[in-house]
Chains A and B, each alone.
Chain A
Amino acid sequence: MAERERILTPAHAGVFVARSQVMDAGDMKRAVTRIAHEIVERNHGLDGVVLIGLQTGGVPLAERIGSELERIEASAATVPVGSLDVAFYRDDIGLRPVLPEAVTDIPFDITGTTVVLVDDVLFTGRTIRAALNALNDYGRPKAVQLAVMIDRGHRELPIRPDYVGKNLPTKRTELVDVTADGVSIGEVVNQT
């Protein structure tokens, strides 16, 4: 789940107050470029590679990585980019409000492909667990890799990213806000 949604959901709901910016737009751009190069290197090209962004924060990031891949591997065919909403697969259904943010859109067959899941922030790992289950219902990928802009630690499941924009040590109570303009860390202050 994008951190942005975490901010808006009850139990956390309030106003996000940024304490400091940890990446600016230029840092983000360089991280996207590096991740794209790592994807090409790791997969020896882009044969059978598809990108799937997790709603909502991972979707624009997946699109950015997609166009970067096309730029650096101009000879390769277009890399398909899809989006996935994992609301129906979450393990905290009934414990906190869960609503889908957007309709899943995977307009290609993922069976036999190498799926690179893309999200903005990796935190407990539970969203990725849900995404792995969801992917199974769409097909059987040859491999699944994980790209995130921020790894903020505090994993609750044995999940590890393959491509990381930045490792960012955080406190559990802090929030990380990723936008096109950069990454900020801060707290949510309850509105009273």
Chain B
Amino acid sequence: MTGMKHLLGIQDLGRDGIEEVMRITDSFVEVSSRQIPKVPTLRGKTVVSLFYEDSTRTRLSFETAAKRLSADTMSFSVSTSSVKKGESLKDTVETIEAMGIDAIVVRHSSSGAPHRIAQWTEASVINAGDGWHEHPTQALLDSYTLLNKLGTLDGRRIAIVGDIKHSRVARSDVHAFTALGADVTLVAPPTLLPPSLDGWPVDVSHDLDEVIPKVDAIYLLRMQKERMTEALLPSLREYTSLYGLTQRRARHLQDHAIVMHPGPMNRGVEIAAEVADAPNAVITQQVANGVAVRMAVLFLLLGSGVGLSE
């Protein structure tokens, strides 16, 4: 991450970059645990969240992170803005930039939108999810949660289960987990896998029952009903019976194995309600770590001065 101005994708970071973010995150976990969980580090900086897609948790998480660093936050959501009046993405970015800002946190339904925005602005751009492409801060908080629970990812086995094809979380997670040395298995029906997995350092399985006893962590993806415009599944019930983490399946997990989910969960679809609340489910820890990881990213891009040229 040293010297980086934007965070557009996990692939730009590599193992060293990810590990640096993890190290700095430790300090922000400590800050977040204090009675006054706020440091003056980014006083006078302004962080804008520019969300072209609905999101509650990611936006709140970024805004909480910015506020704990004493930055000012502005929020721009499409439903209440002049985008409805036909303003182009470029004009919107230029308008926001003219207000004098330091970072733009972008979520957009088109893959690559944050990369375009980075070309138009002097501010740091942070990708908070672009289309089916990447969601780097989710992968960082997932990596942090895994490292916290498993100690290391070298040689650890992680299954990512569900709609891989439409999932930017899966893409970023695969890059991050494999960069950190984990063996990743994707488990999904063939229709929910990307057309090509060339260059993905992963195994693929269609049999969840066979994979479950071997893994150190199982990562369930949300069934994205809003992206299910093609007829990829006969029914959600059939999906649950073959690929859902039911209570019966969860019993076959190893004792130390953890259950993860990026949220929001469809309880009873990809994960049984009881499994989501079990002690080995770390889903709320993922959310808590998300704030600390995003503080680390904002600090590294805006505050550390590491990227400054001498």
Contacts and interface: CB of A to CB of B under 8 A. Distances in A.
Contacts of A89: 39-41
A26 interface: no
Interface residues of B, number: 21
Contacts of B35: 137-139
A97 B26 contact: no
B308 A103 contact: no
Interface stretch (B169-177, B227-235, B299-307): B299-307
Interface in B280-310: 299, 303-306, 308, 310
Interface in B22-37: 24, 26-27, 29-31, 34-36
A93 B27 CA distance: 16
A87 B34 contact: no
B27 A87 contact: yes
Nearest to A96: B305
A158 interface: no
A88 B310 CA distance: 21
B27 A104 contact: yes
Contacts of B304: 93, 97-99
Given A10-B310, A88-B41, A137-B36, A98 B303 contact: yes
A95 interface: yes
Interface in B241-290: none
Interface string B50-64: 000000000000000
A85 interface: yes
B interface: dominant SS: loop
A97 B27 contact: no
A103 B39 contact: no
* A11, A87, A89: residue with the most chain B Cβ atoms closer than 10 Å: A87
Interface string A83-116: 0010111000111111110111100000000000
B38 interface: yes
A100 B299 CA distance: 11
B38 A137 contact: yes
A97 B34 contact: no
A185 B29 CA distance: 37
A98 B24 CA distance: 11
A178 B126 CA distance: 40
A179 B71 CA distance: 38
Interface in A67-93: 85, 87-89, 93
Contacts of A88: 27, 31, 39-41, 69, 299
A96 B310 CA distance: 8
A100 B305 CA distance: 12
A103 B27 contact: yes
A5 to B, nearest CB: 14
Contact of A93 (B26, B31, B36, B305): B305
Given A98-B304, A137-B36, 18 more contacts: A11-B310, A88-B31, A88-B39, A93-B303, A94-B303, A94-B308, A95-B305, A96-B305, A97-B304, A97-B306, A98-B303, A99-B24, A99-B306, A100-B27, A103-B30, A105-B30, A133-B40, A138-B36
16 contacts: A10-B310, A11-B310, A88-B299, A93-B41, A93-B303, A93-B304, A94-B303, A94-B308, A97-B305, A103-B30, A104-B27, A104-B30, A105-B30, A137-B38, A138-B34, A138-B35
Interface of A: 10-11, 85, 87-89, 93-100, 102-105, 133, 137-139
* Shortest beta-carbon contacts, A-B, top 3: A88-B39, A88-B41, A100-B27
